[in-house]
Amino acid sequence: MATAVPSHLLADTKAPVCRLEIKSHFDTLSAQEKLYAHHISKASFAGTRVVLRQVSPESEPLFDLVLAVAKYVSCDFSKLVGYASVSEDEVTKFVEFGAQVLANLGNYKSFGDQKFVPRIGHETFAKIAGVTAETAKIWEGIKDQVYKVHPEGITLLGYPPEHMSGYYPDSPAITKADIEACGETFVDNGVLVEHTRLRQLEGGDFEMLVASEKTGNGATYELKDGRKIKTVYGDHSQEMKAMAAELEGARKAALNGTQEKMMEEYVKSFRDGSLEAHKESQRHWIKDIGPTIETNIGFIETYRDPAGTKAYFEGWVAVVNKERTKVFGKLVEQAGKYIPRLPWPTEFEKDKFQKPDFTSLEVLTFNSDGIPAGINIPNYDDIRMTLGFKNVSLGNVLNAKSPSERTTFVDEKDLALFERLRGPAFELQVGLHELLGHGSGKLLQETEKGVFNFDKEHPPVSPLDGKPVETYYKVGETWGSVFGPTAASYEECRAECVAMYLCPDREILEVFGHTDETEAAAEDVLYISYLQMARAGLLALEFWDPKTKKWGQAHMRARYSILQCFLSAGDSFVTLDSTAADNSDLTIHLDRSKIRSHGLKAVEQYLQKLHIFKASADVKRGTELYDQMTSVDETMAGYRDAVMRKKQPRKQFVQANTEIKDGEVILKEYEATHEGLIQSWIEREEIVGAAKVE
C-alpha cells in the first residue's frame, strides 16, 4: 500500500456493481426504434474522451491504460499474477481501481469531485502497467500525476492553480481572477460558453476552445485590462465528428418530424460549434411529447466547472416506462394547482406554467461522469421561461440496489420501515424535486435593453421584508453567471426544499399512490421521506473537506443545509444523538408527529428566502444565507469521523452495448462485476477511439 496517501483518497474496495437492467424494455421496441436508440447510444459513447479531458490531464491516458491492460489479458486478470509478478490481492486492487476510473470517467469521483488513487503502491502499479510496451509508455507519461496528493488542494476539483480542473488546459499560471475577468467579458459580449474550455497563453492572452468538428479561428474579445481572448474552433474535433455522424444516422431513423429536426440541429451544433443550434435542438426536444425513446446529448450541466458556467458532456438514451409514467402524468396535470401553494407571491412565478413531459425512463445508455436519478432540462434560462422544460425519472437507476448496501445512522426501530419504503419515498422526492422544484420560479430580468419581464416602475414586493425588490438580472446575465460557483448547489437546495415542502400534502401523496389504506401508507412514506433527507444531510459530511472547508458535491451540500434547517426547527424535531465518545452509535431521531407543525414550517421559511433571492438576482443575501446554512460547526465536524468510518462505496453501473448484425440491432449485456464493467468498455473501443500513444 502507498503509505503516503491519506486513507480517504484510496480507491474504493468492494464497491457494489449493478447492471442497468434494460433487456425487457428494449425487446418491446420496433426495429426502427431500436435503430434510432442504437445511433444515439453510439453518439453518446463517442463523447467519452471529452468527459475524460474535462476532469484531469491524466484521466484520458489512465482510461487507455486500464483498457489496454484488460485487453492484453482478455479480462482474465489472474494472468497478471504471472505476467507482472504481483499477488492476487494486488491484482484485485488494480481491477477495482480500473473499474472506478471507468465508472467515473476519470480519477476524480463524479460524486464529490475528490481524487482517488490506487490501493497498490507505485512500484506494483508500474509492474502491471509494464506488461506491454504500449501500456508502459502510457504509464511513463502519467506515473507522477496518478499518485500526486500534495499540495492537498490538488485532490479536489476547483479553481486552478490551487485545485484541479480540466476546463483550463495547459494553463499552469491561470488564476481565479483571470477566469472571472474572462467570464465578465463573455457576459458583456453575450457569448455562451457551456461547450468551451479556456486556455491561457504565455503572454497572458487567452484562447476560448470551442468543441466542434470544424477547426479554425473565430471572433476575438478584449478584456478591460487590454488582454485578448481568441476563439479557436476544433476542441475535441474527432469526437465531435464521430458524434455528428452517429446523430446523422439517428436523424435517418427518426420516428417523427420533430425528432428529425432535433437531430439536424444536434449535428449542426457539433459540426459548427454552435450553441444556438443546440438551443434550437432543445426547442424541438421539448415539443417531442410522449416519445417511446427519450434522449438528450450535449454540454448540459455546469457542476464541475469552478466558475459554474462551462458544462460537462453527457449523452443518454432511454426507453419510456409507460406504466410508471402514468403517475408522473397525473402530477403534471395537477401541477398548475400545486405551484400556487408554494410560499411566494405570483409575481415571483412564471406567468404561465408550460406543462412539461414527465416520463419514467429505463436507461439504455447514460455516458457522462456519473448517472443521476432524475433530470430537469434544458438549462437555458430563456427556453425554460418561454417554452418550458422536460422532466425524467430514471427508473432502473432509482431501483438499482446492491445486496451489500447497509443503512447507517437510522434507529433500529425504523430500519425495517426505512428499507421497505426508501424506494417509494425517493421516487416521491425526485418527482417533486424535478417537476415542481426545478420547474418552478421566475427570474426577474431585463430581457433586452429597456425591456423587462416585470413592472420596473412598481417592482414585486418581497414577502421577506415587505419592500419592493431592488435587484434583477441585467441583459446578458444568467442565473449561473450571477451566482457563479454557488448557483448549482443553491438551485439543488431550492428544488429539494420544494420537495420537502410539498410531500406532506395528502393530495400529492395520493397521486403517487399513497393513502392511509395502501400498503405503503401515506404517513409512513412522508416520514421516511423526511428521515431519508435528514440522513442524506448527515452523510453529506463525507463531501466536506475539513482542511479546505470546501464542499465537493452540489447535491450533498444542499442536503446538509436542509438537515441544518430541520435541526433549527426546534422542539427536538430532529436530533443527532450519541453516547459513545467516538460517536460510533450516532443516530438520527426525527419526531414524525412534528413534521407538519415544525419541519414544514422551517422548510417554508428557508425555501421562501432561497427563492426570493434567486428570483431577484440578490446574490449578496443569497450567498450569505447559503454559506451560513452550509457552514460546518465544531459539533458537526466531530460527527464527520463517524460518517467517514461508516461510508460505503458508491454503486458502479454496468451498461449494455448495441450492435447491428445482419441488419438487426442486437443488445449485448454484461455481468454485474468489475470485469463485466471493464469488458463493456473494451467493446466500445470502435466508437470511443483507440489510445493515442506517442
Q: Which residues are the active-site residues?
A: 434
- Single-letter amino acid code for the residue at 67: L
Handedness of CA 104, 109, 112, 113 (dihedral sign): negative
Per the structure block, which three cell numbers stand in for 11? 480507491
Interhelix angle 59-72/674-682, nearest 10 degrees: 100
Per the structure block, which three cell numbers stand in for 76? 482474465
- Single-letter amino acid code for the residue at 94: F
Omega before residue 16 within 30° of 0, cis: no
d(CA 4, CA 38) in angstroms, rounded, equals 45
d(CA 300, CA 297) in angstroms, rounded, equals 8
Tallying the residues shown for the chain, one arrives at: 694
Q: How many Cβ atoms from other residues are within 10 Å of residue 346's Cβ?
A: 11
Which residues make Cβ contacts (< 8 Å) with residue 614, sequence separation at least 6? 441, 443, 479, 483, 490, 491, 494, 622
- CA-to-CA dists, residue 678 to 97, 105, 114, 369, 682, angstroms: 11, 12, 22, 15, 6
Per the structure block, which three cell numbers stand in for 87? 499477488
- Single-letter amino acid code for the residue at 34: K
Which residues make Cβ contacts (< 8 Å) with residue 74, sequence separation at least 6? none
Partners of 468 in beta bridges: 461
Burial class (CB in 10 A: 0-12, 13-18, 19+), 195: buried
- Residues 24-29: contacts with CB within 8 Å, 24+ apart? 25/319, 25/321, 25/362, 26/319, 26/364, 26/656, 26/667, 27/667, 28/319, 29/292, 29/293, 29/319
User: Residue 39: in which H helix or E strand, if any?
Assistant: helix 31-46
Any known ligand binding at 140? no
d(CA 571, CA 599) in angstroms, rounded, equals 10
Any known ligand binding at 492? yes
Per the structure block, which three cell numbers stand in for 39? 445511433
Structural contact between residues 6 and 648, judged by C-beta atoms closer than 8 angstroms: no
* Nearest partner of 100 among 88, 111, 89, 90, judged by Cα: 111
Which residues make Cβ contacts (< 8 Å) with residue 84, sequence separation at least 6? 127, 128, 130, 131
Q: What is the 3-state secondary structure (H, E, C) of 616-646?
A: CCCHHHHHHHHHHHCCCCHHHHHHHHHHHHH
**Residue located via cell numbers 509492474:** 127
Q: How many Cβ atoms from other residues are within 10 Å of residue 2's Cβ?
A: 17
Max distance between CA atoms of the chain, in angstroms, equals 79
* Nearest partner of 382 among 451, 295, 288, judged by Cα: 451
Handedness of CA 263, 265, 270, 271 (dihedral sign): positive
Our measurement of the distance from residue 498's CA atom to the centroid of its chain's CA atoms, rounded to an integer in Å, reads 19
Structural contact between residues 97 and 139, judged by C-beta atoms closer than 8 angstroms: no
**DSSP-assigned states of every residue in 472-485:** -BPTT--HHHHHGG
Any known ligand binding at 25? no
- Single-letter amino acid code for the residue at 114: Q
Binding residues: 433, 438, 492
What residues are designated binding site for Zn(2+)?
Answer: 433, 438, 492
